Amino acid sequence: MAHAGSSPVQDFFGSVIFHRSEVSYRPAESDDGDGSLSSRAKNRNPLQAASTFFRQRNTLEKILLVLVVFLFITVVILCIFIRGNPQKLLLVGSHLLREKGAEGYCMTTACVTAAASILQTMDQSVNPCEDFYQYACGGWSKTTVIPEGKSLWGTFSVIEQQNQRVIKKILEQPKGNRSSSAEDKAKMYYISCMDPNNTIETLGATPLQEILTEVGGWNVSGKFEVKDWQLQKSLHVLQIKYGMNGLFSWAVNEDDKNSSRYAIQVDQGGLTLPTTAHYLNKTTNAKIMQAYLEYMVNIGTLLGGEKNATTKQMQEVIDFETEIANITTPTEERRDDEKLYHSMKVTELQSLAPFINWLDYFNEAFKMVNKKIAPNDSIIVYAPDYLQNLTKIIDKYSKTDDGKNIINNYLVWQMIHSLAFYLSKDFRQAFKGLRKVLTGTQGEDESWRYCVSDTNSVLGYAVGAMFVREKFNNNSKAFAESMLNEIRLSLKVNIHKVPWMDEETKKAAISKANAITDMIGFPDYILRPELLDAKYKRLEIQGNQYFKNNIRAIQFNMVELLEKLHQPVNRTLWDMTPPTVNAYYNPTKNQIVFPAGILQLPFFDVNNPAALNFGGMGVVMGHELTHAFDDQGREYDKEGNLNHWWNNITIEKFKEQTKCIVDQYSAFKMDNLNLNGKQTLGENIADNGGLKASFYAYQKWRQTQNEWPLPGLGKMSQNMLFFVNFAQVWCSASTPEANQLQIEKDPHSPSRFRVNGPVSNFQEFANVFNCPVGSAMNPKEKCSVW
């Protein structure tokens, strides 16, 4: 899951569905001949009348009448029960009326469908105590082929494609009389991406060439005067107007140490390839570097460059990026937010890194929103050493015209790389070779899938409004909320039991757990057209202007970002759009978010057996909750402030616990490559803690509820079913190249180890599957943090 890196009252276990039976009957004919009841019937005692009426019915009618009365009484009792104690409904749900088969199995449509899917996905010939992932996912692996154009394929991918089909159908519907203007913009953007009039191909390189003229030219394409070039001016245009992140990155976000205010944050940045290792490990990554050069040359020649000259200049850009890679701190070394945080005045930043005038730079940006930055205003700097070293590199290259050419070529290349995908097919095809060596595939999504994803990235909340109305079960939000509360209680019990934490810090941690807020499904405002329209009011979208639509979107997002400064922090803002199949924890808001896109099968369904909901979505919820107490999240207090709120002795004991996790995961191998346990530490802590929190919450639920087993699964217990569904959520296949890239860059472990790692550390799993001590899934030594 995403960690902010991977967010969310009615019974989530299932819904009570009443089928209304319509009983057709003919009333007794009137003795009065006028169509009315006789006076005798009118004056009859009501009970007597009812008795007489019942006796006059045939057998079928009597049975149906009894059923109607029974259902009516049941509804009345449930209403009284819920009104008197609504929280108790959270532990009821459809299990009250679940259909029980002749052999004592759950025979609802949801149960039968789930059982069939589970059986097809498993490989029961594998010993679950030796490789639980293969036991749960072996059937899936045998029958699944990675689709063309995909380097990774799994449950998340399947759900995402399902969501894309829903969105495609919506976006292709004509604009309605009552649709919001924001939704109309989303449909128009989608059409501009699909390009029915072939405008993108007709324009070719023209839209980007026009921008190159505006930014002062590009020596690669032969139109650049070095004597007129200034780094300051170039950054003003390229970074501020066109959103390029060359040399460094910056944003306006919550101040880590005062999360009630927004602050300007400056960090390292500026590499095109995914990791520093791609530049520095030249022997290992020679193929990647060659493919990167070929990609750059292809783009350069499409923009008018001569091939030999372009090759030489692009190699110089790679060499420049390699120098930046040399001063860039690897991700695994940047996990301590307290050490990264440096607050300084603009004047101090100027002394630290004088390669540009920072005050002028920020004021150039903030004049877009009529704000001014003062010399004594505070800036948060996350990479002071990087900026110091960057100054030395810039100074070295700025001494000669050739060096200035290289800097400009690099900066303009950063912009071109980010915008080339909005141009004609030739530009998009240029990336295929690099994609092949990085991910193992060079195919592409169908154009409509690409355009659906692109529309979601630009107008995601307008798309989200349509998606929610079409797809989202309104009951899901309340059901998910109830499950989340149960898992939060379980996590707090786990915190209370950890032996390495002092009592004072435990109390503070439990207080933080209580303070975690959640957002589930979607932000409420998107279903109010006037508010949704207001959000996108300043974003202009035109038909047949795909490239310009994206330029306007970049500038729209920049204005939204800049406007936050000096405003109170809005804790209701989402960082993921509703159709997203993911979830996240935001440490500065102490908040978890679960978009509507993930609240569906196999993670979650209101009609699912509880074991499946807890094993799927429950573990996701536990994962995000645990992020509040991983190696990074634990540094933030319950208000979302970076704060030294743990006892020092407890901090040291925590680090001892986490070292076990680091060492354990670093010993795991995939394709003969060791995982990076340090880089994946936060996600591994969350995976282990989330599994435990959800399992214990499920055990508490089972104390008061009964659930029929699923058909066809033999002697598989409900607890076994919990673990199997947890594992099957992670069934996936990937290319060797994608595996290598994930190990090098991703803060998450590969899917196999997101399953086998947590279950091998969890004694309850070994108990459920009777795994002998010393088996792969029940080692003598286990790692545990929460």
Instruction: Count CB neighbours of 338 within 10 A.
Output: 13
Let me know if 624 is a catalytic residue.
Answer: yes
Phi, psi (degrees; rounded to nearest 5) at 254 = -60, 135
The set of residues, in sequence order, having a beta carbon less than 8 Å from that of 726 and lying 6+ positions away, is 615, 616, 619, 691, 694, 755
- Residue type, position 133, single letter: Y
Whether 298 contacts 430, CB under 8 Å: yes
Tokens of 90: 């959270």
Amino acid identity, position 271:
L
Q: How many residues would you count in the chain?
A: 786
β partners of residue 674: 669
Cβ distance 700 to 491 under 8 Å?
no
Strand partners, 264: 252, 379
Q: In one letter, which amino acid is 548?
A: K
> Does the annotation count 533 as an active-site position?
no
C-alpha–C-alpha distance, residues 529 and 578, integer Å: 16
Tokens of 439: 């991910």
DSSP 3-state of 679 = coil
Distance between CA atoms of residues 417 and 436, nearest Å: 17
CA 735, 737, 740, 744 dihedral sign is: negative
CA nearest to 186, candidates 457, 446, 372, 383 = 457
The token duo for 85 is 């104690």
Residue type, 399: K
Which of 254, 605, 624, 631 is labelled catalytic?
A: 624
The one catalytic residue among 160, 364, 637, 687: 687
Q: Is the peptide bond before 579 cis (omega within 30 degrees of 0)?
A: no
Tell me the C-alpha distance between 250 and 153, whole Å: 33
Alpha carbons within 13 angstroms on the beta-carbon side of residue 304 total 16
Query: How many CB atoms within 10 Å of residue 33?
Result: 8
Whether the CB-CB separation of 688 and 711 falls below 8 Å is answered with no
Measured from the Cβ of residue 783, the count of other Cβ atoms closer than 10 Å reads 21
DSSP secondary structure code for residue 608 in this structure: S
The catalytic site residues sit at 624, 687
